[in-house]
Amino acid sequence: MFDVSILLGLLGGLALFLYGMQMMSSGLEAAAGNRMKQILERLTANRFLGVLVGAGITAAIQSSSATTVMVVGFVNSGMMTLRQAVWIIMGANIGTTITGQLIALDIGQLAPLFAFVGVALIVFFKKPQVHHYGSILAGLGVLFIGMEMMSSSMEPLREWPAFVNLVGTFSNPLVGILAGALFTAVIQSSSASVGILQALAVGGVVGIDSAVYVLFGQNIGTCITALLASVGTSRNAKRTTIIHLMFNIFGTVLFTIICMTTPFTELVASLTPGSPDSQIANMHTLFNIVTTLILLPAGTLMVKIAMRILPDRAESEEEGMHLAYLVPGPALTRQEHPIGFSAMYVNQLRQEINRMLGMARQNVDIAFEAVLAADPKYLEKAEETEEYLDFLNREICRYISDVIVNESNEQDSTAISAYYLISGNIERIGDHAINICEYTQLLKKKNIRFSEEAAAELRGMQNVCLEAIDLLSSDPGVDADRWLDRVAAFEQKIDDMTSEFRDCQLDRMRRGACTDEGGIIFSELLTDFERIGDHVLNIAQQRVRAPA
């Protein structure tokens, strides 16, 4: 009769395994922060280095699913090309085999030591960076304690006939592959599912002849996490998951044929006789290394196939107001993007903010053109854009409030706080543009036209505003202080022009060259002009706190 303690031990061990993995990835994320972007940009241009990076990151966080989800997010945010993603995915499949090899080496005996050292770093040291490294070590220890717990709990299963009969059906390749894929898809961790398979093999419940087909299916099942993460992303991000799936399906078909038609399984088993966990670990490693070596020259072809499966479509302009780069809601949480999370959303925030700034520039331009023409017809278009700016400001602020609670890296926390303030200042620029544009209604109603001298001053205001906003859109570069000085010079120029033009307007009023009502409108317009300069400087000061 089945003992419920077996199930409880398995679930408890699995919980510790997955929690340890989460601790490791969170610690690595907090320690690396936005530097993950620089690492990937430098090392993924070369396919061999890209494979090594993918393997290294996955070996560190013990999860190919997490690495692949990270890659999907990077491709979606434009931080990585589809071709670069291919090499990372290949490397991730190799890196995920490290867990099985460590289990086979029985490194789990050192798990309590890893956990103790990690917790000691967290408890006895105050420096945040030390805490991050402590989380990595403690997570590794908890992970292997969980693995040991799962192994111990499953030993009695070899005495349970019903389970032995069920596992016996895995000798059928199709059944074994489907079982491995389904179980891995459910728990969303190939490392954990392979570890459980090793525990079953060590307990004598499943033989290597059956285990290999389950193992191959587990490589397919690990794709489910990335597939779920690609929902609502760009077509290139979806193609990334297709490439991941193609890689593992190709490897599964190839190795299934090899194992069915040759004594390859017996050959691998003979390398470590009497050690079933090592046999499974070695087969897992060979599966991914051989598949990578075969497909490495065909990376570009895989991209083309993915693009053929999911072709570009004629993108009509999306109806309604929408976020172009941010993925709001639960799709972006640290739990789903455990590594590279910060780099991803900081990059997406910057892109969305730049888009918003472009809309504000458009409205400033329209506003001055409307006043110069004294034509209210521009107002409707400006109000539509202003409504869009309000929407973007609201959604960006909501997005930031969702992600900042998960942020543990100080540099990235500073960056997203800066973007929060930048968004508000851009929205205020839009408000002042609308104020300027609304003066056209009064100009038309009162039949007021500005003199040539006043019109020239308005054209000067328009040009300096647009130049200042264009400078905001540029990259501060390595010399951010100099860039900030240039923006400050524009703000000072706007202040000087405001003072000069106000004096000129008073002079025109004394000479009777303009009406009182026209003078009042021009004075109000100067106030909005000056406020735009203030917000430009505010944005620049925050921009240097949020570097690319």
Give SS3 for 54: helix
In a domain, 15, yes or no: yes
Which residues are CB-neighbours of 6 under 8 A, at least 6 positions away? 153, 154, 156, 157
Q: Is the pLDDT of residue 266 over 90?
A: yes
In a domain, 334, yes or no: no
Residues 282 and 407 in one domain: no
Last residue of a domain, one of 254, 287, 306: 306
Token representation of residue 295:
């497909």
Between 77 and 15, the higher pLDDT residue: 15
Residues 377 and 231 in one domain: no
Q: Is the pLDDT of residue 250 over 90?
A: yes
Token representation of residue 90:
């290949």
Supply the mean pLDDT for the chain: 83
Question: Which tens digit of pLDDT belongs to each residue from 212-245?
Answer: 999 999 989 888 877 876 776 678 888 988 999 9
Residues 135 and 251 in one domain: yes
In single-letter form, the type of residue at position 380 comes to E
Token representation of residue 202:
């060590």
Rounded Cα distance, 493 and 50, in Å:
48
pLDDT on residue 390: 95
In a domain, 320, yes or no: no
Rounded Cα distance, 455 and 536, in Å:
23
Range with top average pLDDT, 52-61, 124-133, 185-194, 286-295: 286-295
Q: Is the pLDDT of residue 444 over 90?
A: no
Last residue of a domain, one of 288, 306, 324: 306
Question: Which tens digit of pLDDT belongs to each residue from 53-67?
Answer: 888 878 776 677 777
Total residue count of the chain as it appears in this document:
548
Residues 462 and 390 in one domain: yes
Q: What is the dihedral of CA 287, 289, 295, 297, to 10 degrees?
A: -160
- Which spans in 222-275 are helix H? 223-229, 235-261, 264-271
pLDDT on residue 192: 78
Residues 176 and 84 in one domain: yes
Rounded Cα distance, 212 and 177, in Å:
9
pLDDT on residue 186: 80
Residues 360 and 297 in one domain: no
Mean pLDDT of 139-149: 82
Rounded Cα distance, 396 and 400, in Å:
6
Residues 293 and 350 in one domain: no
- Which spans in 374-451 are helix H? 377-403, 410-445
Return the percentage of the chain with pLDDT > 90, whole number: 36
pLDDT on residue 525: 93
Mean pLDDT of 115-129: 89
Residues 360 and 234 in one domain: no
In a domain, 409, yes or no: yes
Of residues 106, 275, 269, the one with CA closest to residue 202: 275
Give SS3 for 319: coil
Residues 357 and 223 in one domain: no
- Which spans in 111-233 are helix H? 111-124, 128-154, 161-168, 173-187, 190-202, 208-221, 223-229
Rounded Cα distance, 388 and 411, in Å:
30
Return the percentage of the chain with pLDDT > 70, whole number: 86
pLDDT on residue 41: 58
Q: Is the pLDDT of residue 331 over 50?
A: no
> Is the distance from CB of 514 to CB of 508 less than 8 angstroms?
yes
Rounded Cα distance, 121 and 162, in Å:
46
In a domain, 323, yes or no: no
In a domain, 171, yes or no: yes
In a domain, 324, yes or no: no
The 10 Å Cβ neighbour count of residue 501 is 21
Residues 455 and 537 in one domain: yes
Q: Is residue 435 very low, low, confident or very high in pLDDT (cuts 50, 70, 90)? A: very high
How many DSSP H helices and E strands does the chain contain?
A: 23, 0
Range with top average pLDDT, 33-37, 111-115, 535-539: 535-539
Q: Is the pLDDT of residue 316 over 60?
A: no
Residues 290 and 368 in one domain: no
Q: Domain tally for the chain?
A: 2
pLDDT on residue 129: 81
Rounded Cα distance, 72 and 55, in Å:
16
Domain extent for 383: 340-543
In a domain, 317, yes or no: no
In single-letter form, the type of residue at position 106 comes to D
Question: Which tens digit of pLDDT belongs to each residue from 333-346?
Answer: 444 444 555 667 77
CATH number at residue 430: 1.20.58.220
Mean pLDDT of 77-100: 83
pLDDT on residue 34: 54
Question: Which tens digit of pLDDT belongs to each residue from 156-183?
Answer: 766 667 666 777 677 889 999 998 898 8
The 10 Å Cβ neighbour count of residue 537 is 21
Q: Is the pLDDT of residue 270 over 80?
A: yes
Residues 207 and 302 in one domain: yes
Last residue of a domain, one of 306, 326, 355: 306
Question: Which tens digit of pLDDT belongs to each residue from 372-417?
Answer: 988 889 999 999 999 999 999 999 998 888 777 766 566 777 888 8
Question: Which tens digit of pLDDT belongs to each residue from 28-86?
Answer: 766 665 566 566 656 556 778 888 888 887 877 667 777 777 787 778 767 778 888 88
Rounded Cα distance, 105 and 167, in Å:
25
